[in-house]
Chain A
Amino acid sequence: MDIETILLIQQIMNGLVNGMTYVLIATGLTLVFGVLHIINFAHGEFYMLGAFFTFFASKLLGLDYVTAGILATVAVASLGIVANRFFFWPLRREHEFTLLLSSLGLALLLTNGGELIFGADPKYISSPFADGIVAMGPMILTQQRILIFGVGALMLLLLYFFIQKTTMGKMMRATAQDAEGAALTGVDIRRVYTVTFVLACGLAALAGALVGPTAMIYPTVGSWAVLKGFIVVVLGGLGSIVGALIGGLTLGVVEALVGGYISLGFAQAVGFAIIIVVLLWRPNGLFGVARRAG
């Protein structure tokens, strides 16, 4: 292989790993929208919390990286119950904008609370896989990045089966179609809300725990996460998990290619350019279904 081809494949690999992070973030976002019709601006903060909880679990409790990451994911998933109970469930009959504002308030609360409690100094989650390099011929990935991709793929697969095969998954799909109709047939809407938020927050936290060791973490990192999440969700279609998967991987690869062949400065802009094009061409996203107004 000549050097140009190697570089191209390497950049695509970099992009797929970053893309898998976006997928994990966007899946939670799209799930909450698809099932509960809530646009959750605070979603990125759960990503931030996942990273910080992992950091503190390994620092204060002396846990190894993997245990700390699992613990943080479970803890943030449980926080999803609390967030739903206080910020979303009580407002379910209000106008969509009220919910939007509520989620925005929650986001501000978590970011500023994070700065107060965790401190503004950047932190580093040490992982035994962070600097371990795996060479695949001339291509290189760190063990951590392989872990991100592997765990991400596994989680999506599990989520897919959960939604398709379990009773809870069916209730979620029923609620997504028509919440009132589902309630009339005996679906426990309250539990659907709780489970959806647990899944969404858990996925975001897992992304934070996985990505943490590849970059420094700081309390405002959640705004980055939610932005990437929204780009992917718009690209893939609000409410579509397959859309989030394809949208996330696409965004990752496109960013890597633009960053690698044009400039990193341009790579950010490309996400927004994609949004504009998609909204003009397919307003419901590439995999979205048109939703009746009202």
Chain B
Amino acid sequence: MRLRSGIAAASMALIAAGTSLAVAQEDNVRVAAIAPLSGPGAFDGQLAIEGMEAMVEIVNEGGGVLDGRMIELVIYDDKGNPEEGVSAAKRAIENDDVDLLVGGWFSSVALTMKEVTRDRMLNIMTSTQHPNTTKEGHDLLFRLNATSTMMSDTYSDFICDRMDIDSIAFITINDDYGRLEAENYEKLLGECGIDFLGNEFYNKDDADFMTVLTKLRAMNPDAIYVSAINTAQGATIYRQIRQVGYQGTTIASAGNMNPKLVELSGPALEGVYSVSLFAPDSDDPELKAWVEQYNEMFDNEPSFIGSLGAQAVEILAQAIDKSGAVRDYDKIAETIRANEWNTLLGDITFDEIGQAQQNIYLIQINDGKIETVN
């Protein structure tokens, strides 16, 4: 009897909580945040969501958007899978009736998810680097990260000019992003006379890379380029490169560096270069405010992927204020395209297909810290 009344009380409490939640939701601006929260990409998804949450806190503390409406994140797990990404976006739009949508951390997910949001939902894509995310995107779609083509143009110039290598081999992830990376660099580095010795693909759930790294080492390249989009696999690859006895140069793929990766990889990443939109030693006041808020809320170190999440929230909040609309997606999209946006990663604009034009910095790991190279 006591148990039964306990259950009854608990369900009453739940119903009460549910209603108050529903009331609160009515005037909140609800943003779907779809990210990989389980599987090998889980940590990166966590960093992304944390970055968003820190910026939501800043916006809400500053009075929210429009006439004091709060921003609320509705979080979904895409498991790093295209199918799960599609289903999460459908649930967000059809069942949960969210106002806006942020997603697309991995290219394979972004490329399928954009078909769900096509012409019906304002969609900010974040760290996806595949050019087709925007090239085959739609009027309501914007992408923050530089495309792998934009990154590789900058990065290959640097590799050609400043690194003293004659040959290179690649280990890349077997998805849309990885295949394009290998293709881009083979062409770009070939143009400046660096021999492309070979490329080995791995899968997003592989946990051991000794066999392919043994194979790459046997090719005897001056450098091995590692394209790793998630932290767990990246750190394993960097460590195992040393464990197969390779002693040449390691080059880290563009836009995938974060403090955790540096910590986990230990000596294997020392002196290694990469490029990023996020200059951790920048003194931009917006960035500083976000870093401070982030450190207050979370234990992880603020990372590039988190800063992209924050930038998505920042741009949405500003665009809602400027356009005065939450649900009029055409109007918001027009506003985003027409203006320059002051964000934590600097002032940015979008081109006509929704691609952000951001600064790209060269970075290097020194004494376990990510530093900007001039």
Interface, chain A (partner B; CB < 8 A): 3, 6-7, 10-11, 14-15, 18, 115, 120-124, 126, 130-131, 133, 135, 140, 142, 214-216, 218, 220-221, 224, 255-256, 259-260, 263-265, 267-268
Contacts and interface: CB of A to CB of B under 8 A. Distances in A.
B46 A120 contact: yes
Contacts of A265: 174, 201-203
B211 A260 contact: yes
Contacts of A214: 208, 236, 240, 243
Size category of the B interface is: 35 or more
B248 to A, nearest CB: 15
A15, A115, A218, A264 — most chain B CB neighbours (10 Å): A264
Contact of A264 (B206, B232, B264): B206
B332 to A, nearest CB: 32
Contacts of B40: 122, 218, 220
Contacts of B366: none
Nearest to A268: B203
Interface of B: 37-40, 42-43, 45-46, 174, 200-203, 205-212, 214-215, 218, 231-233, 235-236, 239-240, 242-245, 260, 264, 266-267, 300
A122 B212 contact: no
B179 to A, nearest CB: 11
Nearest to A112: B38
Contacts of A215: 207-208, 236, 239-240
The 4 closest A-B pairs by CB, nearest first: A259-B211, A122-B232, A120-B42, A140-B245
B201 A263 contact: yes
Contacts of B244: 140
A11 B300 contact: no
Contacts of B207: 215, 221, 224
A264 B39 CA distance: 19
Contacts of A11: 211, 214-215
B160 to A, nearest CB: 28
A263 B182 CA distance: 15
B304 to A, nearest CB: 16
A123 B205 CA distance: 16
Contacts of A220: 38-40, 42
Given A131-B239, A216-B264, A18 B208 contact: yes
B210 A18 contact: yes
Nearest to B218: A7
B65 to A, nearest CB: 30
A260 B214 contact: yes
A135 B245 CA distance: 9
A268 B211 CA distance: 13
A124 B38 CA distance: 18
A125 B233 CA distance: 15
A225 to B, nearest CB: 9
B211 A14 contact: yes
A224 B205 contact: yes
Given A220-B40, A264-B200, A264-B206, 17 more contacts: A11-B214, A15-B211, A115-B38, A120-B37, A120-B43, A122-B43, A122-B231, A122-B260, A124-B239, A130-B243, A214-B243, A218-B42, A218-B232, A263-B200, A263-B212, A265-B201, A265-B202
A214 B237 CA distance: 10
Given A120-B37, A140-B245, A264 B236 contact: no
B211 A256 contact: yes
A7 B214 contact: yes
A62 to B, nearest CB: 19
A131 B243 contact: yes
A271 to B, nearest CB: 12
Contacts of A121: 43, 46, 231, 260, 300
B76 to A, nearest CB: 15
A259 B244 CA distance: 15
Contacts of A218: 40, 42-43, 232
B210 A14 contact: yes
Nearest to A218: B232
B239 A130 contact: yes
11 contacts: A11-B215, A115-B38, A120-B37, A122-B40, A122-B43, A122-B235, A124-B266, A133-B243, A215-B236, A220-B40, A264-B174
Contacts of A124: 235, 239, 264, 266
A133 B217 CA distance: 15
A196 B3 CA distance: 38
Contacts of A142: 243
A129 to B, nearest CB: 11
